[in-house]
Amino acid sequence: MAGIAANERLQRIRPALVSYLMSSGALASAAFSQLATFAILARALGPIEFGLFVQISAVTTIAVQLCGLGASDCLLRRVSREPGSYAALLGHNLCLIALTGTVLVSGGALALSAWLRIGSGPSVGTGTLVLLLFGNVVVVRLILLAETAFLGLGRFHQANRAVVGFALSRMAVAALACLVFRVSTLADWALWQCAGNLLYALLGAVWLRPLGRPRLAVLREELMPGLLFASQFAIRAVRANVDLLVIGLFAPLATVGSYGVARRIMDASYLAIDALNRLLYPRLARASRDGLHHALPLTKQALAAALALGLTTCLTLFLLAPELPALFGRQYQELSFFVRCLSGTIVLVGAWAVAVDLLGASGRQDIRAWILNGANLLGSALIAAATWLAAPIGTFVALYLVEGAIAGIAWIVLLRLVRRSRAQAEAGRVL
């Protein structure tokens, strides 16, 4: 009987396990391709040019979260519940990407020109900045629409294909540009990268075409939820990149390059957690429809899985760190130290990511925004000050404090809301 019960449990969890393995496999392939791309660029551009690229990438990482004003959330959330709303929500996304993208590219080029002149590195032409901003903000946001649309419609295989394809295409463009055509300057790479992203965006449009034509109109009722959603990721991106921007003001560009590679390795390592959350979000949206407390058992299971994934990734990075300079280039000598110091943050990210995803999936973007935006705004100031006063050790201490604070606050708030939801449901049954 015990064997039969175990077999039945296996049959119940097998679809979820297969979905996770496919999702994590897709994101792991994307992470590996991203690291290979960075390794190619780090070797080809050298510490100085690559250091400049890292600083500019910090800004584009922030800007891409603002592009579209968070409209991707409603595309995922509402389409998972009402597939018939796809055309209107896709058109809503396209309109907001066009409007915000124009402002971000023009304003970003001016701001970056002024910021880079403050530092000690070489100047970057306006044309190069525009190409980097357009290719990494507007075009990337358009590319991400394909994955979001497929996830909302429950087409996980096609979503995985979009993720892996984009990562492989970036690696192929980097290899072709740097290894075949010997690109060695940031200006030349900006042209290659923008062209490669544009070609992949066209491929994404071809994939989405059978799903129906978008209805181009801005949905006013989704502007505020989208803005709240975007603000969380934009301010998190500010917090995640403020150390790079501050270090760039006084440290040698070679150190900035090493630290930038370490941060990008960490960003790629978070994909183990993202693989779980991207599958979980639609399920949480459905489970929490009749009350937040209905989704708590699933959330607790996901927390255990996220912590296990975070710990495994942390230990793997810690052990592999000494070998990284051989991959990225011997001139990045500080890379191993930076990666080892940062590796533990993955566990803390796994601890809070599940809680804030349930808040978002249940429609509580206001509370989610208060938690993430408040912690990340204060965290940005703390990290900037610690970096300025005692980099890099002060930076690491501040990063751990911020991630730990988000995890604690997110779970305290979530559990209180769950108790309130359960009490309201019980009161309703009594009446």
Specify the range with the lowest mean pLDDT, choosing from 15-19, 60-64, 290-294: 15-19
pLDDT higher than threshold 80 for residue 364: yes
**What is the maximal distance between C-alpha atoms in the chain?**
74
- The answer on pLDDT for 124 being more than 80 is no
| Segment 352-377 mean pLDDT | 86
pLDDT one-digit tens code per residue, 211-260: 888 888 888 888 888 888 888 778 878 877 787 777 767 667 677 778 87
Q: Exposed, middle or buried, 368 (CB in 10 Å: 0-12/13-18/19+)?
A: buried
**Angle between helix 2-66 and helix 271-287 axes, rounded to 10 deg:** 100
Taking a C-beta distance cutoff of 8 angstroms, is the pair 201, 143 a contact? yes
Q: What is the pLDDT of residue 120?
A: 52
Map residue 392 onto helix, strand or coil. coil
Is the pLDDT at 193 greater than 90, yes or no? yes
Name which of 47-56, 223-232, 251-260, 288-297 the model is least confident about: 251-260
pLDDT at 19: 54
Predicted pLDDT at 157: 81
pLDDT value of position 3: 47
Question: What local confidence, expressed as pLDDT, does residue 214 receive?
Answer: 86
pLDDT, tens digit, for every residue of 405-428?
A: 999 999 999 999 999 988 888 876
The pLDDT assigned to 24 comes to 53
% pLDDT > 70, the chain:
88
Alpha-carbon dihedral angle through residues 404, 409, 410, 413, given to the nearest 10 degrees: 160
Peptide bond between residue 252 and the one before it cis (omega within 30 degrees of 0): no
In this model, does residue 9 exceed pLDDT 70? no
Mean pLDDT score, 168-179: 91
Q: Residue 371 and residue 364: Cα distance in Å, rounded?
A: 11
- Ranking 2-11, 107-116, 122-131 by mean pLDDT, the lowest is 2-11
59 CB-near residues (< 8 Å, 6+ apart) = 108, 111, 112, 115, 133, 241, 245
Q: Which residue has the higher pLDDT, 122 or 58?
A: 58
Q: In sequence order, what DSSP letters do the residues of 229-273 get, joined into one string?
A: HHHHHHHHHHHHHHHHHHHHHHS-HHHHHHHHHHHHHHHHHTHHH
* Residue 95: count of CB within 10 angstroms of its CB: 18
- Residue at token pair 């801005």: 218
What does the DSSP 8-state code read for residue 321?
Answer: G
Residue 401: predicted pLDDT: 93
pLDDT digits (tens, 9 = 90+) for 323-332: 888 777 777 7
User: How many CA atoms are closer than 13 Å to the CA of 234, on its beta-carbon side?
Assistant: 17
How many Cβ atoms from other residues are within 10 Å of residue 410's Cβ? 24
Question: 14-28, 170-184, 345-359: which range is least confident on average?
Answer: 14-28
| Predicted TM-score (pTM) of this structure | 0.69
Q: What is the rounded CA–CA span in Å between residue 232 and residue 229?
A: 6
Lowest mean pLDDT of 40-44, 51-55, 61-65, 121-125, name the range: 121-125
What whole-number percentage of the chain has pLDDT above 90?
24
Can you give the residue range of the structural domain that contains 395?
2-430
**Structural domain total, the chain:** 1
Q: How confident is the model at residue 5 (pLDDT cuts 50, 70, 90)?
A: very low
pLDDT at 81: 77
Residue with the larger pLDDT of the pair 169 and 116 = 169
